[in-house]
Amino acid sequence: MLFNLLQAEPIEGAIADTLAEAMPQAAAAQPVEMHESLFSLFKMGGPLMWVLLALSVVAVYIIGKKWWQIRKASQINSNFMNDIRDYVTQGKYKSAVTLCRKYDNPVARMIETGINRIGRPMSDIQSAVENTGNVEVARLEKSLPILASIAGGAPMIGFLGTVIGMVQAFFNMSKAGNNIDITLLSGGIYTAMLTTVGGLIVGIIAYFGYNWLTSQISNLVYKMESSTIEFIDIVLNEPEEEEK
């Protein structure tokens, strides 16, 4: 019995020594959590990340600006055309023009153009109104091609960064020879992955923003066309004596 206890003590001591030696190694083997800031990750993406940042700023600016313009242009009083009908049928053209200038939107400017040409052939009035409408639509669509270019170009720039990163990784591998270390690949892999993510994010924002703005302009064009048809119907009615 005593012999067994004496034999067990060295064994327990050996186990304790082994555990003591293994614990620092296990602690060292645990993965170290890397808490990188967004700016640090941004810099790891390489110079193309600055290009993508500039494109994102331009895209957000265009989306915000066009949203405000379309929102302002879509604010049409529901009684506007009824008031125009009353003024035109009574021959009060000056009052109708004053009412149009009160509202700063494409529909009001189109109707004002048509009122100023009352008395000319109907084809001239209709052409003048349509030309004004085309100018207004072109103003609303200005800068949208830039947004479309960003939607298509940003992912391509991201893929370019991916190719550059992979070239950089393989170049580092070739220089290392047989002594390949994962740290040699980390820089190229960071560039490849981060530029891809950045390009896709910018492209998605620009793509959805472009489609949304296009749909809003289409809705506004429908309102402009409806107002044009209604105005032509009003002009076809013979007006009374013009306002003095």
Predicted TM-score (pTM) of this structure: 0.72
List, for the chain, all residue ranges whose pLDDT scores fall below the cut of 50. Answer: 1-16, 18-35, 239-244
Residues paired with 221 in a beta bridge: none
Residue 7 confidence (pLDDT):
46
Residue 163 confidence (pLDDT):
83
Residues paired with 118 in a beta bridge: 120
Residue 28 confidence (pLDDT):
41
Residue 134 confidence (pLDDT):
92
Whether 42 contacts 190, CB under 8 Å: no
Question: What does the pLDDT look like over 158-185, one tens digit per residue?
Answer: 888 888 878 777 777 777 666 666 666 6
Taking the CA atoms of residue 61, residue 63, residue 68 and residue 71 in that order, the dihedral angle to the nearest 10 degrees is: 180
Question: What does the pLDDT look like over 104-144, one tens digit per residue?
Answer: 889 999 999 999 888 888 888 888 999 999 999 999 999 89
Spatial distance between the Cα atoms of 124 and 93, rounded to a whole number of angstroms:
17
Residue 15 confidence (pLDDT):
39
DSSP type of residue 75: -
Residue 206 confidence (pLDDT):
95
